[in-house]
């Protein structure tokens, strides 16, 4: 009988590509990982499960077959454990969800903290990655929920609007625009600008918002493209340019940054919760999904400065 602990170790090597990386992710020693792989190979009739290709350990054909079945076994084992624990009224399990490196890194931890206060036995795993990777991982069920800046209209997917927040134009302290009131959008043509990279949903929001204000992307003097909010803030302080940043990312107080008073209504960043439409979602994931759409999560979002969508009501996009 194969040991599920050994199977988890085996899959870690498959996913990480090396014994050392797998050992680090599992908080084991490399010799312990090697021993577990050898034990598996012996139990399966001395079959080789890996071969070395360059610097990576790649599964053999037997290893690929085992990997497919091992993932199914572990899913079933997890569900069995959750079902038995559920008989005692306790919600347990592991839920992997994702967000981008924009204000999702601020919003999601606050939401997860609220969830954990209600369900302390649930283990949470947060993947922070580019938007397209998150969508691929959701499609492959490697993550179960995604906090998304864009609605996704795909067959078999569900998308619920959580709320919206304004984008604030930040400038370094002492910048001439900070002393002005109601700065017209056309002034941005004369300024150095920092933008998210092409393909980033925030980039698309900014481009569309500027287009509605008769400012085209080619009109801008872009000095830096980055998806990192931390890098964006540092670049503003160092004088590389101005940048639009979601309000939830603003530091509580800063003597090195200021908010430019732009004329008109601010551009809005929408936030959606995505998942695949499934009948048999693990209970822990379902509880998290229900929490994120419920009143406790709405209260957290409100404290972060978001306009909250309630009862399916739409939050207006930038006009």
Residue 40 has pLDDT above 60, yes or no: yes
Residue 172 has pLDDT above 90, yes or no: yes
- Lowest mean pLDDT: which of 15-29, 60-74, 89-103, 112-126? 89-103
Q: What are phi and psi of 152, to 5 degrees?
A: -120, 115
For the chain, percent of residues with pLDDT exceeding 90: 58
Helix axes 104-118, 283-292, angle to 10 degrees: 120
The CATH architecture of the domain made up of 91-319 is 3-Layer(aba) Sandwich (3.40)
Q: Are 5 and 35 contacting, i.e. CB atoms less than 8 angstroms apart?
A: no
pLDDT band (50, 70, 90) for residue 88: low
Q: What is the pLDDT of residue 319?
A: 41
pLDDT band (50, 70, 90) for residue 313: very low
CA distance 299 to 7: 41
pLDDT band (50, 70, 90) for residue 4: confident
Write down the residue that tokens 């599964």 correspond to: 59
What does the radius of gyration of the chain's CA atoms come to, in whole angstroms? 24
Q: What is the pLDDT of residue 312?
A: 43
Q: What is the pLDDT of residue 86?
A: 61
Q: Each residue of 132-150: b (16+ CB within 10 Å) or e?
A: eebbebbeeeebbbbbbbb
- Lowest mean pLDDT: which of 35-39, 140-144, 151-155, 311-315? 311-315
Domain ranges of the chain: 4-87, 91-319
**Tell me: the pLDDT tens digits for 97-153?**
999 887 788 899 999 999 999 998 888 999 988 888 999 999 888 899 999 988 888
Residue 75 has pLDDT above 90, yes or no: no
Q: Which CATH class is domain 4-87?
A: mainly alpha
CA distance 297 to 113: 10
Both tokens of 299, joined, read 């209260």
* Best CA proximity match to 70, nearest among 13, 19, 136: 13
- Lowest mean pLDDT: which of 88-97, 164-173, 271-280? 88-97
Q: Are 274 and 158 contacting, i.e. CB atoms less than 8 angstroms apart?
A: yes
pLDDT band (50, 70, 90) for residue 317: very low
**Tell me: the pLDDT tens digits for 233-292?**
999 999 999 999 999 888 777 788 999 999 988 999 999 999 998 767 888 899 999 999
pLDDT band (50, 70, 90) for residue 314: very low
Q: Each residue of 25-42: b (16+ CB within 10 Å) or e?
A: ebebeeeebbebbeebbe
pLDDT band (50, 70, 90) for residue 87: low
Q: What is the pLDDT of residue 101?
A: 82
Distances (CA, A) of 291 to 118, 158, 172, 199: 9, 16, 38, 30
Using the Cα atoms of residue 167, residue 168, residue 172 and residue 177 in order, give the sign of their dihedral: positive
Residue 84 has pLDDT above 80, yes or no: no
Look over the chain and give the mean of its residue pLDDT values, rounded to a whole number.
Answer: 88
Q: What is the pLDDT of residue 298?
A: 93
Q: What is the pLDDT of residue 83?
A: 67
Q: What is the pLDDT of residue 198?
A: 92
């Amino acid at each position: 009988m194969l040991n599920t602990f050994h199977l988890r170790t085996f899959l870690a090597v498959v996913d990480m590509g090396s014994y050392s990386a797998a050992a680090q992710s599992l908080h084991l020693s490399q010799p312990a990982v090697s021993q577990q792989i050898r034990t598996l190979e012996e139990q399966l009739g001395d079959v080789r499960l890996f071969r070395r290709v360059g610097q990576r350990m790649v599964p053999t054909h037997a290893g690929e077959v085992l990997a497919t079945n091992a993932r199914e076994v572990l899913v079933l084992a997890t569900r069995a454990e959750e079902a038995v624990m559920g008989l005692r009224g306790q919600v347990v399990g592991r839920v992997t969800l994702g967000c981008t490196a924009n204000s999702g890194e601020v919003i999601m931890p606050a939401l997860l903290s609220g969830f954990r206060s209600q369900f302390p036995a649930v283990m949470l795993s947060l993947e922070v990655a580019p938007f397209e990777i998150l969508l691929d991982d959701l499609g492959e069920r490697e993550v179960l929920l995604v906090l998304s800046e864009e609605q996704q209209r795909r067959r078999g997917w569900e998308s619920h609007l959580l709320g919206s927040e304004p984008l604030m134009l930040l400038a370094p302290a002492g910048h001439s625009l900070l002393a002005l009131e109601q700065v017209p959008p056309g002034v941005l043509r004369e300024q150095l600008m920092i933008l998210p990279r092409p393909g980033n949903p925030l980039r698309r929001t900014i481009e569309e918002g500027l287009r509605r204000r008769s400012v085209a992307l080619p009109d801008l003097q872009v000095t830096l493209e980055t998806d990192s909010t931390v890098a964006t803030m540092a670049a503003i302080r160092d004088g590389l340019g101005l940048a639009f940043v979601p309000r939830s990312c603003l530091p509580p107080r800063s003597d090195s940054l200021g908010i430019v008073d732009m004329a008109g209504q601010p551009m809005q960043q929408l936030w959606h919760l995505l998942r695949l439409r499934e009948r048999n979602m693990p209970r822990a994931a379902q509880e998290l999904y229900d929490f994120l759409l419920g009143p406790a999560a709405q209260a957290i979002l409100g404290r972060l400065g978001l306009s909250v969508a309630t009862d399916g009501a739409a939050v207006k996009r930038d006009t």
